[in-house]
Structure 1
Amino acid sequence: MWKRLLGGKLSPPMDVGQLADAGQAKRLLMLEEGATPSGDYILGPWLASLGPPVVRLDARQPPHTGQIEPGDFIVVQRYLHAPWRHAIERQRRELGGLAWFLDDDLLDPAALAELAEPYARKIRQFATSQRPWFEQMAAQWWVATEALASKYAQMRPTVLPLSPPRALIDPCRAVRVVYHGTASHQREIEWLHGVMAEVQRRSDVTHFELFGELPVNRRFRDLPRVAVLHPMRWESYLAYTASRTADIGLAPLLPSVFNAGRGPVKFIDYTRQGALGLYSRTPPYEGFVRDRVDGVLLAQDANAWVEAILHWANDADGRARCVDAARARFG
């Protein structure tokens, strides 16, 4: 039955008591489907506290040859995909141990019946149906809550503490860089992708925000620390920007007949938010913005914008002086 269910020959079951302590492992391999709250708040810090080097791997990407080394302790967060399952089967007896970390109740059909069907289907495919495999592989059970530990007490689970690292509790001051262009700025939005990618590669403190529909969200999904907001009515935008400040506002403007008729409204948008505006050195901004007095004028060159964002992200005093000068223009 196991061969038919799991699609491969399994090693004989091992007693849980024979498993090596994770703290004595050569390395701790943490398999996760990208970064998650439970990974950063619970599992990652717990593994880091044990001593051996922690290697966080995307479980959606198949393992390459040699990625699992003898003595490794593998921890699966929630879901295990077939390529990793097969690799673990082949090297199970060489491992320092295996654990399955559950941060939700992924095993009770009654619990899954309360969820949206696409989400429940994923859980059944990658978690619920693989419970027999984890039991056959003599995996330790690690859970996030006392409720899960009580419900699945027969598996003798270990409850991991909620222990986020101090850096997440007291993060460094983020620099918010916004681009509040509408759907009429599709060329500028696309142009900014490369600028944002380079800035994010070189800085850990810059956080970008822009507006866009689903295609824009998909386009920028590959970049870290980028929020794409759904477009909103003018009244809602006024209320939103009144409740949130920004540090730098971007206003690139590529040459076009339509753009030639625009006004410098972004100057007001960004001044309202307390943001230093970076503007294209072209009308309507050239001749209106006083360069490095109440804003910054830039040639339409990607490298120039990257360097300007990085420079002003590290000059809070300079940004404040420009914002004060911009506000003074309106009495």
Structure 2
Amino acid sequence: MIIRYLGDSELAQVRRRRWRKVFYVIDDDLMRLDDDRSVPEDYRQRLLAFRQKRLPDILDLADVIVAPNERILEGYPSKKGERLDPCYVTVCDDLRHFDDYQTIRILFPGSRSHLNDLAFLQEGLLRLSAAHTELEIVTYMGANAPVRLKGMEQIQHRKPLPWAAFQKEQQRERFHICLMPTVATPFNQARSINKLFDCAAVGAVGVFSRGGPTDGVIADGVDGLLVDHDVMAWEKAVGFLIDDMARAKTMAQACLDKAGLCGNPVRVRDFWRKQLDI
């Protein structure tokens, strides 16, 4: 099983043996990057270099492509494709933080590849911060955060963390609202539903883009909010939750339940048991 990327030594190791079947697990849409400049350019160039120099070697070995989105699988028409949604790592076990919301904590969990999505929200976040002094907004953009959002007392831009460290921090942190817009770009349209699990990990109600990866998973107004691509609509949606934290708590609980249903690790385990005949 090859997961995402492969270095020279790993490639040599895979080539030294004869395998009954090789699976390639990929969660980025590498095939639509030529005309999609929505992600940071240095990141885009790294992905393009990988696609040109190393992906052909991996595809020579791979029998099956496993991805969380059909759009990714469409990029490999000569290979057998299997759709597999991710599972959660952890789900918040209580919502006691909703008992005290003198400070309302809002999380933007996106990595640097979501910088364009955060930039879309910036004017709304500035207005919300000015109108609601009880807000504390956290991102993991560090120095990469949009300039307009830097130096704001209510907005923390923590340094980006490796995935494992980010997961551990999520287990310790609690938030009330989680914002995950996905601007309608080819790269974003091929993303997975993993941001649902970020919301559940920190015990928050999620606000997602209508038409994004969580369409068909999130029931609008029940276990999250789906919002049109309009910053004023996002500002209004967040304001709605701020003004009714009892409703927000109910929706956060429903979000935990939805994550537990959609992200059950047993489903992923059973998928691989079937694929590997074990």
Could you state the TM-score of these two structures normalised by the residue count of structure 2? Answer: 0.55
Shift of 1:203: 1.0
CA distance in 2, matches of 1:220, 1:281: 24
Specify the code of the residue in structure 1 equivalent to 2:120: W
For 1:41, the equivalent position in structure 2 comes to none
Shift of 1:195: 1.3
Consecutive unaligned residues of structure 2, counting only runs of 5 or more, are 1-99, 262-278
Cα 1:219–1:321 shift into 2, 3 Å:
same
Question: Structure 2 CA distance, aligned partners of 1:219 and 1:207?
Answer: 16
Give the aligned partner of residue 226 of structure 2. Answer: 297
Structure 1: distance between partners of 2:184 and 2:212: 10
Counterpart residue number, 1:240: 169
- In 1, distance between residues paired with 2:247 and 2:107? 18
Match of 1:210 in 2: 139
Q: Matched residue of 1:250: which SS?
A: strand
Asked if structure 2 preserves the Cα contact closer than 8 Å seen for 1:200 and 1:224, the reply is no
State the TM-score, normalizing by the size of structure 1.
0.46
Counterpart residue number, 2:102: 173
**1:265 matched to which residue of 2?**
194
- Measure how far apart 1:213 and its partner are: 3.5
How far 1:312 sits from its partner (Å)? 0.3
> Structure 1 CA distance, aligned partners of 2:234 and 2:105?
15
Matches within 5 A, 1:86-165: none
Deviations 1:98-127 (A, max 9, x none): xxxxxxxxxxxxxxxxxxxxxxxxxxxxxx
Q: Secondary structure at the residue paired with 1:258?
A: helix
Runs of 4+ aligned residues of structure 1 deviating over 3 Å after TM superposition are none
Amino acid at match of 1:251: M
Q: Give how far 1:172 is off.
A: 7.3
**2:231 partner amino acid:** A
Mapped to 2, the partners of 1:201 and 1:261 lie a distance apart of: 34
Identity score, percent: 21
Q: Which residue of 2 aligns with 1:230?
A: 159
Match of 1:8 in 2: none
Match of 2:114 in 1: 185
Higher-Rg structure is: 1
Write the distance in 2 (CA, Å) between the matches of 1:287 and 1:204. 35
1:290 and 1:296 in contact (8 A); partners too: yes
Q: Does the Cα contact within 8 Å between 2:106 and 2:138 map onto a contact in 1?
A: yes
Looking at both structures, which has the greater relative contact order when contacts are Cα pairs under 8 Å and sequence separation is at least 6?
2
The aligned length equals 161
**Given residue 280 of structure 1, which amino acid in structure 2 is its aligned partner?**
S
5+ residue gaps, structure 1, are: 1-170
Looking at structure 2, the residues matched to 215 and 198 of structure 1 have their Cα atoms a distance apart, in angstroms, of 21
SS in 2 for 1:282: coil
Distance across 2 between alignment mates of 1:198 and 1:206 = 11
How far does the alpha carbon of each residue in 1:270-327 deviate from its partner, in whole angstroms, 9 at most, with x for none?
Answer: 0111100000001312211111110000001111111111120122211111122122
User: Separation in 2 of the partners of 1:185 and 1:328?
Assistant: 26
CA RMSD of aligned residues (A): 1.8
Pick from 241, 246, 262 the counterpart of residue 312 of structure 1.
241
The Cα shift of 1:177 comes to 0.7
Contact 2:179/2:206 (<8 A) preserved: yes
The one-letter code sitting in structure 1 at the alignment partner of 2:169 is Y
Find out whether 1:198 has 2:127 as its counterpart.
Answer: yes
* Structure 2 residue corresponding to 1:252, chosen from 166, 181, 193: 181
d(CA) in 2 for partners of 1:328 and 1:185? 26
Shift of 1:263: 1.1
Give the distance between the partners of 2:137 and 2:214, measured in 1 at CA: 22
CA displacement at 1:215 relative to structure 2: 3.6
Letter in 2 for 1:295: G
- Aligned 8 A contact 2:208 2:226 in 1: yes
